[in-house]
Structure 1
């Protein structure tokens, strides 16, 4: 991909990430509190309310930075990989999955931001870590660089699966007649398609998010494998599959808004750039 096109995608990703994260962060924080607590929306909301508005956007900077780089990588690297793979005359879906694997793997390299975000939104760490930079410094000094990448495999698997799902489904949606209907504004179509994809992906891969939060909430000690993490999540709070879905309804609402806004803003900025 030409440099100017890549820079354009970076700028579009920056704008989309900033708008999306700023609007949906409080909802995302509520979801994290459900997962980190007893799973009840009422209790999660009450814990945030008691902390007051000062702490509402605590932990917002890591996902803002991570989303900026992640969205840029997701779209920019995926498009570059698709262009490079064209020469091999691969199957259309295998090509999309391969490109998604490339972008998802690179995205996983920026997971320290997600790692620190979990610590900053957790109430028990409000006094231990002042901000993102302090958290990074403390983790590095006390546990080493490896602590930044606790739960890496879970995030890597999630990225590849969700990216493949996103680009394949988006391509199929674009083939539908409603997406070609000129009477429907592009911004509405982009919001609806992005929101629908976000809702599907967030629900389908939500157990991975719960496992990620479970892994990231820990500081120090052994690094569990994906299977050990899944087993630990299953056994907590009395055991059962319900442990993989606390906050899933609110997450669906957040993802619908988040991906709808992201897709709409990204495509809008890309068209006017």
Structure 2
């Protein structure tokens, strides 16, 4: 995301407090408005999840979900809907706050894109701390093998509580942290340059934001897909022997016959999910930010003329 530092600071080098608040607000609104697409593509997401943990072909996975019936198709949809709104608020808002602090204290010649990436890394770390429990609950609910002994959300929450934080709610915290920090860093670092390139092809600002968000998130999703598969397999199970990250990765790699093709099973559907959700989120957020910057410029002109 390209930032003009003059829009963030006044003559005394102090940032308008409202701009920081608006970044949190805009992030929450953009993800809230993308809730409907999230709901629509949830069956796609669930299909990918089943492929990740069962290593089945797409027609087998669809047949499995069809056999379970429509009532169970949206089992586990509540956590991702909640995560979408809260995630946007935290991720975009905190990244903007960290970016402001880095710009204010940095005496280096780092480009704004590099600072965006660094701020995204910090925001991704906070994101992992806050949302790992929600992702854990979501993955337990989506695993059809848990339907019998953990039939409701409340039963899952009670079970997680008895297992403690590390094994219960924060299972797979390390790979989630790696995925989120790298993903957020790449997203905020690449989105701006990508948008500039796309805009150079003559597209409107809204279309440029949508395409840049889609292409950036698509590349990130495919690059970090193995980590997502590892997380899904670590978090889907409840009880049994608890293994570390390295041991779980070895088991996963062995179960995929040491094949990259099998490891990426379901990866093509991630592209669809990224196109729908992050493309829309990016376009809405950038549109709000552009309007906010325009309003800030008007205040700045009035302030200077006064």
Normalised to the residue count of structure 1, the TM-score between the two structures is 0.89
Stretches of structure 1 lacking an aligned partner (at least 5 in a row): none
State the match for 2:42 in structure 1. Answer: 25
Cα drift, residue 11 of structure 1: 3.6
State the match for 2:86 in structure 1. Answer: 69
1:159-201: CA deviation from partner (whole Å, max 9, x where unpaired): 111111111111112322x4157x6333322221111112111
State the match for 1:253 in structure 2. Answer: 272
User: How far apart, CA to CA, are the structure 2 residues paired with 1:24 and 1:263?
Assistant: 17
User: How far apart, CA to CA, are the structure 2 residues paired with 1:212 and 1:41?
Assistant: 20
1:128-147: CA deviation from partner (whole Å, max 9, x where unpaired): 22333331122113x12221
Judge conservation of contact 2:132–2:176 (CA < 8 Å) in 1: yes
Shift of the 40–57 alpha-carbon distance from structure 1 to 2, 3 Å rule, reads same
Cα drift, residue 40 of structure 1: 0.5
Judge conservation of contact 1:100–1:164 (CA < 8 Å) in 2: yes
Normalised to the residue count of structure 2, the TM-score between the two structures is 0.80
Pairing partner for 2:66 from 36, 49, 55: 49
User: How far apart, CA to CA, are the structure 1 residues paired with 2:80 and 2:51?
Assistant: 18
Cα drift, residue 65 of structure 1: 1.3
2:286 pairs with 1:263: no
Judge conservation of contact 1:118–1:216 (CA < 8 Å) in 2: yes
Shift of the 230–186 alpha-carbon distance from structure 1 to 2, 3 Å rule, reads same
Judge conservation of contact 1:233–1:243 (CA < 8 Å) in 2: no
Pairing partner for 1:81 from 82, 98, 102: 98
2:155 pairs with 1:134: yes
User: How far apart, CA to CA, are the structure 2 residues paired with 1:203 and 1:159?
Assistant: 13
Alpha-carbon RMSD: 2.3
Write the mapping of 1:88-127 to structure 2, written as runs, cut at 5 A. Answer: 88-90=106-108, 91-92=110-111, 93-109=113-129, 110-127=131-148
Judge conservation of contact 1:115–1:148 (CA < 8 Å) in 2: yes
Bigger Cα displacement from structure 2, 256-265 vs 50-59: 256-265
- Secondary structure at 2:218's aligned position in 1? helix
Cα drift, residue 49 of structure 1: 1.0
User: How far apart, CA to CA, are the structure 2 residues paired with 1:7 and 1:210?
Assistant: 30
User: How far apart, CA to CA, are the structure 1 residues paired with 2:187 and 2:281?
Assistant: 13
Shift of the 207–124 alpha-carbon distance from structure 1 to 2, 3 Å rule, reads same
Cα drift, residue 217 of structure 1: 1.6
Cα drift, residue 77 of structure 1: 0.5
Pairing partner for 1:215 from 218, 225, 234: 234
Judge conservation of contact 1:120–1:132 (CA < 8 Å) in 2: yes
Cα drift, residue 265 of structure 1: 3.3
Judge conservation of contact 1:236–1:243 (CA < 8 Å) in 2: no
Moved over 4 A (4+): 268-273
Larger radius of gyration: 2
**How many residues are matched?**
270
Write the mapping of 1:3-22 to structure 2, written as runs, cut at 5 A. Answer: 4-22=21-39
Shift of the 271–171 alpha-carbon distance from structure 1 to 2, 3 Å rule, reads closer
